[in-house]
Chains A and B, each alone.
Chain A
Amino acid sequence: MTYPVWYVPFGSAWIIAVIATVHVFISHFAIGGGLMLVLLEATASRHDDEALKGWLKRRSRFFLLLTLVLGALTGVGIWFTISLISPAATSTLIRLFVWVWAIEWVFFLAETMAILVYYYTWDRLDPFAHRIVGWIYFGSAYLSLVAINGILAFQLTPGRWLASGSLWDAFFNPTNLPSLVARTLVCFILAGLFTLFGLAFTKTGPRPDLVRRSLLWVGIPLASLPLVLFWYFKAIPPEQRLIAAAVPYFNHLALTALFAMAAIALLAAAVWFSRGKVALRQFAAIMLLLGLFGFGSAEWLREDLRLPYLIVGNTYANGVAVSALPELRSQGLLATSQWSSVKAVTRQNEAQAGKEIFVMACSQCHTVRSRLIPLGPRLASLDEGFASWLAYRTDLMRGGMPPFPGTAAEAEAVAHYLRVAALPEAISSDGASVFRRRCGVCHTMSGSFRPLARVFEGEKAEDAVSVLNDLQSFSSDMPKWTGSETEKSALAQWLVAQSNPAKKGAS
């Protein structure tokens, strides 16, 4: 591997998750909010509305702090973080898109200057010139989104670039446009939510006309978002969608995002139709929080859509270059890496070797025994043979994992290290939990991931036992049964019961 892996025992993924969630939230708001400011300023000057102007003035101070301090610096923070956590992919993105980044930087510079001038020149410029400054701010902020969006979309759908290597193919990739439209809508929604929140907390009480206006900013884009998201998903190659759908928490994220959208829509409707009778403060605060959760989950979902890659078809999620995989599988990860102290697995160094491999190949998504998908307790509760089998076949399991980038002996070392580094979790030998441990990592019963229900349809428990005795005849990727006889019969009965629910009810 080109770069060493920064080892964070509690999971480096947390760091990026926290910084990225804050940043995307603020940066999208910074765009929509900028537009909202100038539009409301126009309203204020059309009606000579000093109260509204005063409010906007105070808001622009908050806005300045939020975008310049938190927005810009969490942006720098994301860049720092991905440089540390995914240096290989970052280097590729930086080299390929250097001019796009440079253009983005120009917009950022203009944006910084415009927001400073905007804030400091209230009442010092004629209203028209002041609004022009606001428009310059909004324009440059939006254009920087256009630049960055192309790069983010590229990671998921590099499209023709994989063959051509051309910058334009990379930038104008299949999900660029739908993703840009979706982000634009999100900018409006967040601007509406923030404005509503701000209005709710004004001392003089919210002005109904402005409340309605911000509700429209939320409602109209929200209503069109589902269609745009559908367009976006359609632009993703089906095989990529399938991998993502097999990630166990994929559905949770999707449901959270959908739930948040629906709830925001409902609450917005309630505020709209109640004509000021609902408690606006509480409603606005909840809507804003829902926006944070919904948008956060959607962004996370988008990151997972590109699993097992960071740049689809080019770099795996653990930083291994797709082109380097064959060499790693034949020569071994330890032997080819500059960053390992051990060069080959032996009986004496197995734990150390396993740890180094774990850090290089798995620690981007897993921990040994912390909260983020801990592997130690899980593997410690399995027998060694089965655990090693799994470690070597990560790409077959649910989770959108990259292929194991090393030899079978190295996979055994990882499994060994993880098994001795943690206490086994309490296990029960009822059918459902045996299934979860021994089959569920590679199969679902009824879902879309190598479903098993149809195999055991109309079968009896004895048939299921003979299937379990002969797993390798179905696929050489499947491990031999290494569990106990009690577990086997419990599992067999459970499999049959699950696959034939109607019969169970009838008899």
Chain B
Amino acid sequence: MVAPVAPESLALPSPPWLLQGLGELTLAIHFLFMNVALGGTLLAAVYAVKGKARHLEAGFGLARALPFAMAYAIAFGVAPLLFVQVLYGRFFYTAAILIAPLFLAIVAALILAYSAIYFLAWRWDALKWGRLVALAVVFISLCYVGFVQANLFTLMCRPNLFRGMYLARPGGFQLNGGEATLLPRLLHFALGAIAIASLFVAMQGLRKLRLAPEQGRWQYRSGATWFAGSTVANMAIGLWWLFGLPREEWSLFMGRDLWATIIFAGAIFFAVTALVLVHLAIGSPRPRRIFILAASAAVLTVVGMVFMRATLREAELRPFYDAAAAPVSTQWGAAALFGVIFIAALVLMTYLARLAIRAFPPPEGPPLGSGGYRFKNTG
């Protein structure tokens, strides 16, 4: 059999585990910020429609955060893009070319969304109906981005389609429409985005507990409710996705592959933990601590999901390519230089973060532990 794509001309510059590990970790961070941007836009729109003062307050909190979420979603999108091109270049480039115009339009959609996000964040008060229009622009653009990404990253794992698709449309106006798991996959990402964004809403609610306890309590509950709803629904969608895969793929996560099964079980465990903790925080004397645990569990769920996704891709591409068997000629010196620079930059960025915190001190209010800071069961 002729391989559907020919190998790259250079060897891998580092062992695959290193490239893969860095790629998946940065991708998890990408997803977290992307989720706040995408889910946050949707929630902000919902709040804007509901329109009471407390809704608008929560919506404004999201709108102000969107520029940051977007900036970091982009910054942390670049890194996994680099590593996926190193590891899976022959599949990635080919799939991108097959859908080229729609892939390239991502850039336009991002510019549009990003501009509208700044418009919202800086003009929120002055806008009225404009808010909804701008939010709709952001939401539709970001959905477009996610939709094309999902098409690209599923198509990439279907090398057998490449030749036929190319010969049918060398101009690239097509998508991976025949993919059976595309719909559950998209829904899974969308609900995940709402879940993470609603945790963000809840976190902002917590921060308001001291100064505006009423708003803070309401906002925390609102976020927690959205989180619960979307996460429970997402479990169903996740099962739909999983069992929509061919048997030899889903069975990997059901015991056929130890590592895959551990990741899957861990992710589910953390998701349930997050669900429980988010609600335990209500009515706890130390809501902040419990919330931090809940948010950490949610983050670990995302990390687990990212590694599941990677496992699935590896399994799908196994007949065509095995990264572990690819020729490697490691540039250890350069990798070490990267490590050193990365650590130096982390120090610098910690310094920047501390400056930013100093610039925006937490609002004055009753001291920790006093009545106003707690959830009252009367809510």
* Contact across chains for A117 and B82 when beta carbons are under 8 A apart: no
Contacts of A359 in B (CB 8 A): 170
* Contact across chains for B93 and A91 when beta carbons are under 8 A apart: yes
Contact of B345 among A80, A91, A94, A110 (CB under 8 A): A110
Closest to A72 in B: B74
* Contact across chains for A69 and B352 when beta carbons are under 8 A apart: no
User: Chain B binding site: helix, strand, loop or mixed by DSSP?
Assistant: helix
Contacts A73-B74, A95-B12, A105-B79 given: A4-B86 contact, CB under 8 Å?
Answer: no
Contacts of B97 in A (CB 8 A): 3-6, 84, 87
Q: How far apart are A91's CB and chain B's nearest CB, in angstroms?
A: 4
* Contact across chains for B360 and A124 when beta carbons are under 8 A apart: yes
Contacts of A6 in B (CB 8 A): 97, 100, 170-172
Closest to A12 in B: B100
Contacts of A116 in B (CB 8 A): 67-68, 71
Indicate if B85 sits at the interface (CB-CB under 8 A): yes
Q: Which of A58-117 contact B (CB under 8 A)?
A: 65, 68-70, 72-74, 76-77, 79-81, 83-84, 87-88, 90-92, 94-96, 98-103, 105-110, 112-114, 116-117
Please report the total number of A residues contacting B with Cβ < 8 Å. 66
* Contact across chains for A15 and B111 when beta carbons are under 8 A apart: no
* Contact across chains for B104 and A338 when beta carbons are under 8 A apart: no
* Contact across chains for B107 and A74 when beta carbons are under 8 A apart: yes
Indicate if B368 sits at the interface (CB-CB under 8 A): no
- Residue of B71, B103, B162 with most partner-chain A CB within 10 A: B71
Q: How far apart are B11's CB and chain A's nearest CB, in angstroms?
A: 8
Report Cα–Cα, A101/B79, bound state, in Å: 9
* Contact across chains for A94 and B86 when beta carbons are under 8 A apart: yes
Report Cα–Cα, A90/B10, bound state, in Å: 12
Indicate if B259 sits at the interface (CB-CB under 8 A): no
- Residue of A76, A94, A100, A102 with most partner-chain B CB within 10 A: A102
Contacts A95-B12, A339-B166 given: A102-B338 contact, CB under 8 Å?
Answer: yes
Indicate if B163 sits at the interface (CB-CB under 8 A): yes
Contacts of A73 in B (CB 8 A): 74, 107, 110-111, 114
Contact of B355 among A83, A87, A125, A338 (CB under 8 A): A125
Query: Which one of B42-50, B123-131, B213-221, B329-337 is at the A interface?
Result: B329-337
Contact of B6 among A2, A95, A113, A125 (CB under 8 A): A2
* Contact across chains for A81 and B89 when beta carbons are under 8 A apart: no
Q: How far apart are B358's CB and chain A's nearest CB, in angstroms?
A: 7
* Contact across chains for A77 and B107 when beta carbons are under 8 A apart: yes
* Contact across chains for A4 and B107 when beta carbons are under 8 A apart: no
Indicate if A7 sits at the interface (CB-CB under 8 A): yes
Contacts of B13 in A (CB 8 A): 95-96, 98-99, 167
Closest to B82 in A: A101
* Contact across chains for A136 and B352 when beta carbons are under 8 A apart: yes
Closest to A167 in B: B331
Closest to B163 in A: A338
Indicate if B245 sits at the interface (CB-CB under 8 A): no
Q: Which of A281-325 contact B (CB under 8 A)?
A: 321, 323
Contacts A69-B114, A95-B10, A95-B89 given: A80-B103 contact, CB under 8 Å?
Answer: yes
Q: Give 1 or 0 for each of B165-187: 1 = CB within 8 Å of chain A CB.
A: 01100111000000000000000
Given contacts A76-B78, A87-B97, A339-B166, 10 further A-B contacts (CB under 8 A): A4-B97, A6-B100, A6-B171, A73-B107, A76-B77, A87-B93, A98-B82, A99-B334, A105-B75, A321-B9
Residues of B within 8 A of A (CB): 2, 4-14, 19, 22, 67-68, 71-72, 74-79, 81-83, 85-86, 89-90, 92-94, 96-98, 100, 103-104, 106-107, 110-111, 114-115, 118, 162-163, 166-167, 170-172, 331, 333-335, 337-338, 341-342, 345, 348-349, 352-353, 355-356, 358-360
- Closest 6 A-B residue pairs measured CB to CB? A99-B334, A87-B93, A124-B359, A77-B107, A7-B170, A121-B359
A-B contact pairs, 25 of them (CB 8 A): A2-B7, A4-B97, A6-B100, A6-B172, A15-B104, A72-B74, A73-B74, A74-B107, A83-B85, A84-B97, A87-B93, A88-B9, A91-B93, A95-B13, A95-B86, A98-B83, A99-B13, A105-B78, A105-B79, A108-B78, A117-B355, A117-B356, A120-B359, A133-B355, A339-B163
